């Protein structure tokens, strides 16, 4: 049986069947269409301006490694005029993050980008290993997610950048839509598909891989022979997201377009005005100055619980009441350094579907 020919160039031997479209293409055409689709997402969503200083959230995993490589490639090919940095957060997970950061350090040399590493221990006085020893593995992802988001903003502020890009792909976003539906989280469901977000007190963030399938990112990394770390977080197997991921994979097996279909459904979702009126107004944390919907941000609440030996107090309202009943906050507990909001353009939310 003769080898199949690429449906795009009609010359070279086909080596890849794209999960996203079903097209059978050669390796070079796959590279071109993958990069061009990311470029089109960037241009149509107007993600950057010439001269922007952009921090790439770098974990050493496949998504962030491919993102760094593609951002460098597109910046040079299309002359975006961006100044690119790598920004890594060290959560303090022995046998996982310490190894993945070695990959990031190699990427720094391979892609010739400045690297900033900010640790939980430096910022919060706690590592994830220490947190898990207190809370166990049931709710540890809550701590990590809250702490990581604020750490990225603080690291970006230290770098003096205008913009953070992360490697969240189409699968990640579809999973988030499903999670918010299952939890009935209307506030997050209304904004989780936005490709670019910025609050009044945060640095602009965007997801250039919003429409890129995870399988295609893996194939791109494989055929490009990129250097990335492939081990999953040792604390993530019990995460709630895992249920949404398993469900999504079953949907994708039956209907490959399910991932993009779910994203488009999320984009079309609208919250009634009377529901919006019940949502909490964003303010700034009285203790650390970071954005919050309460007088204390989630990170400060979680950290106070850890410091006072009531680690789960920030997880539920009931547990928080127990912390309040224990008396006022002691003066000698560790707190997060005060956050100085970056100056820049007004808050925006841009979402232009392809």
pLDDT of 182 reads 86
**Which has the closest alpha carbon to 74: 96, 101, 56?**
56
For residue 133, say whether it is annotated as part of any ligand binding site. Answer: no
For residue 309, say whether it is annotated as part of any ligand binding site. Answer: no
Domains and CATH numbers, the chain: 46-229+238-279 (3.40.50.620), 280-339 (no CATH)
DSSP letter for 285, please. -
For residue 331, say whether it is annotated as part of any ligand binding site. Answer: no
Successive 10-residue mean pLDDT values, the chain, 354 residues: 89 92 94 97 95 96 97 97 97 92 96 96 95 87 92 93 94 93 80 81 88 96 95 80 89 91 89 70 87 88 89 70 77 88 44 31
DSSP letter for 313, please. G
Summarised one tens digit per residue, pLDDT across range 232-263 is: 888 887 677 888 899 999 999 999 899 999 99
Question: pTM score, two decimals?
Answer: 0.89
**Which has the closest alpha carbon to 55: 77, 75, 83?**
83
DSSP E strands, the chain: 16-17, 24-25, 53-57, 83-90, 115-119, 163-165, 196-197, 204-206, 283-284, 291-292, 349-350
What is d(CA 39, CA 221) in angstroms, rounded to the nearest whole number? 17
CA geometry: angle at 80 spanning 67 and 33, to 5°?
Answer: 50
pLDDT of 348 reads 33
For residue 59, say whether it is annotated as part of any ligand binding site. Answer: yes
For residue 57, say whether it is annotated as part of any ligand binding site. Answer: yes
For residue 92, say whether it is annotated as part of any ligand binding site. Answer: no
What is d(CA 338, CA 287) in angstroms, rounded to the nearest whole number? 7
pLDDT of 200 reads 56
pLDDT of 2 reads 77
For residue 63, say whether it is annotated as part of any ligand binding site. Answer: yes
pLDDT of 212 reads 96
pLDDT of 199 reads 62
What is d(CA 290, CA 123) in angstroms, rounded to the nearest whole number? 13
pLDDT of 61 reads 94
What is d(CA 45, CA 267) in angstroms, rounded to the nearest whole number? 14
Cα-Cα-Cα-Cα dihedral of 282, 287, 290, 291, to 10°?
-10
Largest CA distance in the chain: 78
pLDDT of 51 reads 95
């Amino acid at each position: 049986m003769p080898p199949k020919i690429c449906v795009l160039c009609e010359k070279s031997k086909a080596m890849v069947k794209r999960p996203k479209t079903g097209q059978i293409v050669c390796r070079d055409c796959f590279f071109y269409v993958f990069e061009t689709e990311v470029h089109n997402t960037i241009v149509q969503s107007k993600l950057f301006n010439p001269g922007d200083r952009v921090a790439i959230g770098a974990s050493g995993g496949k998504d962030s490694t491919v993102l760094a490589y593609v951002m460098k490639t597109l910046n040079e090919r299309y002359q975006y005029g961006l100044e690119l940095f790598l920004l890594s957060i060290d959560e303090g997970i022995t046998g996982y993050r310490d190894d993945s950061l070695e990959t990031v350090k190699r990427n720094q040399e391979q892609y010739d980008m400045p690297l900033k590493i900010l640790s939980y221990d430096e910022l919060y006085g706690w590592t994830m290993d220490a947190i898990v020893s207190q809370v166990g593995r049931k709710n540890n992802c809550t701590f990590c997610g809250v702490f990581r988001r604020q750490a990225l903003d603080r690291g970006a502020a230290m770098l003096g950048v205008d913009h953070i890009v992360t490697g969240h792909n189409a699968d990640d976003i579809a999973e988030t839509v499903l999670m918010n539906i299952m939890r009935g989280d209307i506030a997050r469901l209304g904004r989780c598909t936005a490709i670019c977000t910025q609050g009044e007190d945060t640095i602009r963030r965007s997801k250039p891989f919003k429409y890129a399938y995870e399988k295609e990112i893996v194939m791109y990394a494989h055929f490009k022979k990129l250097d990335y770390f492939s081990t999953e977080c040792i604390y993530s197997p019990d995460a709630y997201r895992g249920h949404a991921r398993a469900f999504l994979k079953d949907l994708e097996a039956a209907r490959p377009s399910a991932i993009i279909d779910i994203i488009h459904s999320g984009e079309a979702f609208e919250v009634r005005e009377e529901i919006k009126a019940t949502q909490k107004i964003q303010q700034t944390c009285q203790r650390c100055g970071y954005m919050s919907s309460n007088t204390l941000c989630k990170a400060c609440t979680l950290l106070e619980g850890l410091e006072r030996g009531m680690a789960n107090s920030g997880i539920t309202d009931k547990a928080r009441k127990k912390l309040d009943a224990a008396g006022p906050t002691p003066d000698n507990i560790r707190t997060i350094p005060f956050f100085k909001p970056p100056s820049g353009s007004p808050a925006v939310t841009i979402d232009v579907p392809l």
